Amino acid sequence: MYWHLDEQVNHIIKNYSTTSNHLITQAQAVTFAGVLFPELKNASKWVESGSTVLNNEVTAQYFPDGWLKDGDLHYHIAGIEDFRSTMLVAQLNGQSNRFPASYVESMRKMTEVVMNMVYPDYTVPNMTDTRRDTWTKSVLKRNLTNYANLFPDNTQMLWMATEGVSGTQPETKVKTFPDAGYYVMRTGWTKSDMMMVVQNTPEGPSKKWHRQYDNNTFEFWCKGRNFFPDSGSYVYGGDSAVLAQRNWFRQTRVHNTVTLDNRNLETTDSKLLFWDVTPSLTTLVTENPSYEGFTHRRAMFFTLEGLLVIADQISGPAAGNVGVHFNLCPGRIEYARDGTVRTLFADGNNIRIKTSATVPVQIREEEGWVSTAYRKKEERPAYAVEAPKTAGGELLFITVIAPDE
């Protein structure tokens, strides 16, 4: 066993991944081997190698705002645990000097990302490859407890870890992560509140495997129900048939954003243009050059009562059919003659959606699926509000989403 362990750890060191979560996990394994088998001749070399990589990657793979550059919450949480558990094993075996105080502080913003991304019912956004069902309430609370122990001065983290039994309820209603392109707005932190997550990431899916063609998409959670869950990923990788299924869920049109002729987004240079918070209104404005000659600017106005107004401004020389897409949670909806769409849940927790534009629009029903776990998918209602755009012309869509109780 010793011989094979030595062989495999040395192989990892010689073949480290250049970056990504793979490198973090490899360095964790190398460090573990060196710390836990000090009697082996290469142990000190392993600890030095693994801890050096981890001390570098704890900042190299994360934006200044704390988000994993990969943009996937699943791997963001997993990375934190790799960093934390490796440091803990080193401490328990007399090698705490391998990880200085700066290493711990680098994780502070990472853990605050998780705290702010969790919905009041202890679910998480289904964006990118996160696979929401993987992160159960018990698993999230365990991680939040680890974070609270790591940062005992963070009483808000303790409140989240204990479901409000201890600590201080967070007061933050808006949290922006402009480096990563994630923005969180909420009316509060309890199950009777409302919360939304907007995603407008700076790098496109061609650069990051876990990304999707979904800039300016959003999720809207209201009193225990995620009314606009992200489509998810369904499968991860495989042959061409499997990748075809994965690519279906990555399409722009199956996200809550805007398309031109139903095509996938082509370019991304997203920007946060403006955000403002008052006691009664939160305003967020983002922009994305979705196609050549086509700029999508999305302004979102979120009131203390949970009323959401979305203004989609489309400009540029490109011409074609513009669609504003809405992909709802599984359940029944109805379309009224005036264009209002209503959900029909028996528990009374429902919403109304109404979209108008500067030109006549039409509503077209679309195929809709949502995947919250690997190879699991469920049909859901989806539709697009469409209007033609002329070359050089501008369009403005106004959508109002309101509680309907």
Catalytically annotated residues? 75
Alpha-carbon distance of 304 to 367, in angstroms, equals 33
Compute φ and ψ for 94, nearest 5 degrees. Answer: 70, 25
Cβ contacts of residue 85 below 8 Å, gap of 6+?
28
Edge-to-edge, what's the strand order for the sheet holding 362-366? 258-260, 320-327, 382-389, 362-366
